[in-house]
Every structure is written in C-alpha cells, then in structure tokens.
Amino acid sequence: MDQVRQFWEQLRHSCWNLLPIVLVVGVFQFLILQQVPEGVWPMVFGLLVVVLGVALFLQGLELGVFPIGKSLSNEFARKGSLPLLMIFGFCLGFGAVIAEPALIAVAEQAELVSEGRINALVLRMLVASSVGAVVALGIVRIVLGHSLHWYMIIGYILVVLVTFFAPEEIVGLAYDSGGVTTNIVTVPLIAALALGLALSLRGRTALLHGFGLVGLAVMVPMISVQLYGIAVYSLVDPATVEAASNGIPLAEANEEVVSPTAGSLLLGMVTDLLLMVRDVLPIIAVVLFFQYLVIRKPVAHAQRVVAGFVMVVVGLYAFVVGLKLGLFPIGRSMAEQLVALDGFFFLYLFAFCIGFATTMAEPALIAIGRKAEEAARGQLNGNLIRLLVALGVAIGITVGVHRIISGDSIHYYIMGGYALVIVLTALAPKYIVALAYDLGGVTTSEVTVPLVTALGIGLATYIDGRDVLIDGFGLIAFASIFPIVTVMLYAIAADMVARFRGDPV
C-alpha cells in the first residue's frame, strides 16, 4: 500500500509540474497566435501520457536506481580500492553515455549537416570516453576530499581557451554534446554513486562532496569535441566540403509517434520499447558485472530493484511518446509562426517562457532537487532551487535565441558566459559550487533537449542567412551556463545577507 500511495503522490506532482508548459503553450496559441491547433485531443492525450511517464520514472528511481547506486558505492568504499572504484566509474560513465539517444541524434545530425566531415561514431566514442574518464576523476576527488572549486576553474579556463581556437562549425556542437550526456537515466545513477560514496567515507559531506560529478561530465566533452573539431577542420581541405544548411532538422527525426513494424502498430510499440531497453542495457550490464563478478554479492531486494528499472524504462518510453503526441507538433508549428510575425518580441518571450516551463517539468531536476534538499538538511529548499534553475535556463535560451537572430558568432557569447562562471566559482560559498554545476547539467535532459534543439534548428532554418551547423546548435549550451550563474548569484547574495545580519554561515 505504501508503494501505491507513493505512486499517486508522484502522479499528483507530475500533473503540477507539467502545468507551466500547458499554460505557456495555451497562452501563446490562443491569445497571441489566436489559432486552435489541429489535432488538439491527441495533444491532450499526449500530455496525460507524459504525466504517467514522469510518475513511473520517478517511482522507478526511488525503487531501483538510487538504492543500487548507493549500495555499490558503499561496497567499494568498504573494499578501500581506489583503482577498482575508478574502473567502475569509467565503465559506468562510458556505458551510460555511449547509447544515449539524444547524443546519437545530435551526432547523426552533425554528420549529416557537415556532409560527413564529422563522423557520428567517432563523436559518440569521444564523448562517452570523456564522460567515463571524468567520472573516474570525480571519484578520486571525493575520496581525496578535494574542493571542486579548482577542478572547475581550471577546467573552464581550458574550455574558454580551446573555444578561442576552435572553428565556428564545431563550437555549438561541442557544447551541445556536453549537455546531452546528462540524461534522464545517467544523472540519477551518477548522482547516486557520488552521494553514496560521500556518505560512506568519514569526513565527507553529501553537499560538499556528493555533488559535482554531473558538472564535470558536462565540461570535459566540451574540451575533447572542440579538439576533435580543430583536428578535423585543420586536416581536411575546407574546399572539398560545403556547409550544408538543408539537412533534416533534429526535431523531424523519429517524427512518427510509433513506427509500424511489419505493418503492425502493436509490434512497433514493442520494438520501440525494446530499443529503450537497449539504451539502458549498457548501464545494467556494468551494474551486474561489478555486483556479481567483482563484489560477488547478490543485489539486496533484487525484486524491488528490477521493478524499479522496469518502471524507469516504461516511464521513459511513455514520456517520450507523450512528448511526440502532445508537445512536438505544436512546438514546431509555433516556432515557424512566431518567426513569421512582425518583429521578434514574441519570439524572445516564447523562448523565455518555454525555457522556464520545460525546466520546471524536468524529471532529472526534480530528482536532484529532492536529493539536494535532503543532503542540505534544511539549508536549501528544493522548490527554490528549481525556480532558480528554471530562471537561468529561461535567460540562457533567450540569449541563445538572440544570438541566432542577430547572426553573431557563438565564440564570444560562450567565452563571456564561462568567464563569468569562473569568476562566480571563485566567489561563491563552497557548499553551493558542486550543486550549481550539477544543476547546470540536469537542465539538458529529456524534456528540454528535444524542444530546445528543435527551436534552434528551426530558427536557423527559417531565418534567412543562417546556417544550420553554425547557428542551429548551441542553445543547449546557453541552457547549461545560466543556471550555474543564477544559483551561484543567489548563494553569494544569501551569504552576504547572512553576514550583514551576523548570522552563522
């Protein structure tokens, strides 16, 4: 009965969390565009499916993903083997990312619009290896008790330096590749690993040491992909390749809600569900390998863990199907209609509102917000964290949309944004730094990535003089930068107020 009560609570929260998206779409559709969308009832049904999918996903996390992550961390900590922990971290990071659907879609789109200059498989292997390496590095940081400040400051100085030399064709793609590594399954599992490890080691705290792995996992692929771009665009004769601006937009890939298999929609649904299982299979394989062959212990409460993973897969599948039914059709048509209006005011307003609304509905952010509230023991409020992150994403997407409209180079925007992040990292209270970077990473998950990417590529397609490869990518990067800024600014302001009042900080 407790599980049923928890599920209904998750369902109620899911309805409440999706309400901002419904309001934004409704206001723009009926009051500004003044049109009734075609197929409104399938869209309503799609939103209901999204609600069900989010509830199943969150319940599955609590039953399966978080417990297994903490259990493995505790066992490795007891063994006291740092090399073994690092190998596990690398395998977990690599396995979680190599089959990530959003990364596959971005890589294939990049290969298409670059006419083969960028290789999709090489890009995926590079990003997955980067994430694996950085999870191993993050584990070392937790074990040694290092502050995250210097890791992030040095790392983002490297990011800015590499961005200065990188060709414009690769910059937006590199930042988007870093963003899509932190998906709806990867984020909770990596967070569970880090939190479990921090809580199992003496002298470590969840808030100071348990967060930060997600932020590192976003940063390092940005460096490696830009280095790959420098090599590719330096070694290949530019005259042999023309930048393609007529590729198939990412938003139109997999446009069918369910692709019939052998003429059967039911068989198509089963096939799509199996593909979703394939996407999380590398993570499951890593967990089982280390659980049974390295630790050599059975999984505690195995039935609950299996049920949790099943709920995660089914919830994720329902979530994606619901998005395709409920939000994608109206989102694409609205982007085209808003570009056609006189002036760009409503386009900026839509970018801000949809950035805020999609972030408030982001399942991974909800999950991390809850864990942060638990770890802080009253210092932080989960709902306030979500509001700050949503505000940051809204500002970031609006700035990114302005860059596409104006046709400015992404170099200066990105370098300026991360220069600000570096300064704030040096000034912010230590307890907030790791969490702030993780929150910047979880904004680019299953809700935000498809809608934001579709918006960016759509604008680059419909605005004259824009190139899909150069201008269409990069919005995800802005959605990652500004939440870090808003969360750190809030912590700095709160710290200053507390000092002024004479409160203990």
Question: Using CB atoms within 10 A of its CB, is residue 244 exposed (0-12), middle (13-18) or buried (19+)?
Answer: middle
Task: Identify the burial level of 335 via C-beta atoms within 10 angstroms of its C-beta, where 0-12 means exposed, 13-18 middle and 19 or more buried.
Answer: buried
pLDDT in the model for residue 243: 40
Hey, CA dihedral for 400, 404, 407, 410, is it positive or negative?
positive
pLDDT, position 352: 93
In b/e form, how buried is each residue of 457-491, taking b as 16+ CB within 10 angstroms? bbbbbeeeebebbbbbbbbbbbbbbbbbbbbbbbb
Per the model's pLDDT, the better-predicted residue between 413 and 374 turns out to be: 413
In the chain, % of residues over pLDDT 90: 6
pLDDT, tens digit, 9 for 90 and up, residues 250-290: 334 444 555 555 555 567 667 777 777 776 777 778 878 88
When mean pLDDT is compared across 176-190, 307-321, 397-411, 423-437, the lowest value belongs to: 176-190
The mean per-residue pLDDT over the stretch 107-119 comes to: 74
Question: What is the rounded average pLDDT of the residues 60-71?
Answer: 74
What's the token pair of residue 445?
A: 């998950």
- Please tell me what DSSP assigns to residue 243: -
Q: What number is the average pLDDT over the span 465-481?
A: 78
Distance CA 259, CA 296 (A): 41
The more confidently predicted of residues 253 and 63 is 63
Angle, in degrees to the nearest 10, between helices 448-462 and 475-501: 120
Amino acid 398: pLDDT: 94
CA distance 389 to 367: 13
Q: Report the candidate in 354, 319, 337 with the shortest Cα–Cα distance to residue 23.
A: 354
Q: What whole-number percentage of the chain has pLDDT above 70? A: 80
Instruction: Specify the pTM.
Output: 0.70
The kind and range of the H/E element at 13 are helix 2-27
| Confidence (pLDDT) at 249 | 40
Determine the pLDDT at residue 150: 81
Coil, helix or strand for 264? strand
What is the C-alpha to C-alpha distance for residues 103 and 109, in angstroms, rounded to an integer?
10
pLDDT tier, 39 (very low <50, low <70, confident <90, very high otherwise):
low
Q: How many Cβ atoms are within 10 Å of 444's Cβ, its own excluded?
A: 32
Phi, psi of 261 (to 5 degrees): -115, 120
Q: How many domains does the chain have?
A: 1
Sign of CA dihedral 252, 278, 130, 153: positive
